[in-house]
Amino acid sequence: MAKKMTIALYTGSFDKLTAAGVIINGAVADDMEIEIFVLMMGANAFKKENIGKTDNMAELACKKDEFLASIERLKIPTWMDFFKQAKEMGDVKIYICGLAGKIWNGTVLEDFNGLPDDICGIAEYIASAQTADVNLFI
């Protein structure tokens, strides 16, 4: 039986989204079922108009240019590419928190970048976390 990972994805910063993308690809490669619940600032990053933006870095903002240059030099995929790849490789579902979506004027899936599978309430995250083998807050 495959193990299950649940992620509460609060962050909207591209450095942490990149790290989350690496984690979910590793989990998919290990044949884990993954459910990602995109909360508050994360929902803003998933908005359609924010595709490709790299203006928000949570950790050491003074290192932003160096981080971006290294990403480009090493030809590391964008966080969105990591998420797309994981969804193509395995059982990965992405949900936008309904409240977070409303805060950022996102009320339907079409308001987001094409990655989310649905919009749901916090009860779905709690139910998923209760049955997960691994539960992360990023």
CATH of the domain at 28: 3.40.1260.10
Q: What is the pLDDT of residue 130?
A: 97
Q: What is the pLDDT of residue 1?
A: 58
State the residue range of the domain holding 16.
4-137
Listed residue (86, 77, 72, 70) closest to 32, CA to CA:
86
Please state the length of the chain.
138
Domain count along the chain: 1
Mean pLDDT by 10 residues, the chain (138 residues): 92 93 97 97 94 74 83 93 97 97 96 97 97 97
- B/e letters for 67-97, b = 16+ CB within 10 Å, e = fewer, are beeebeeeeeebbbebbbbbbeebebebbbb
What is the pTM for the complete model shown? Answer: 0.92
- Segment holding 68, helix H or strand E: helix 64-73
Q: What is the pLDDT of residue 105?
A: 95
DSSP 119: E
Contact between 71 and 18 under an 8 Å Cβ cutoff? The reply is yes
Q: What is the pLDDT of residue 61?
A: 73
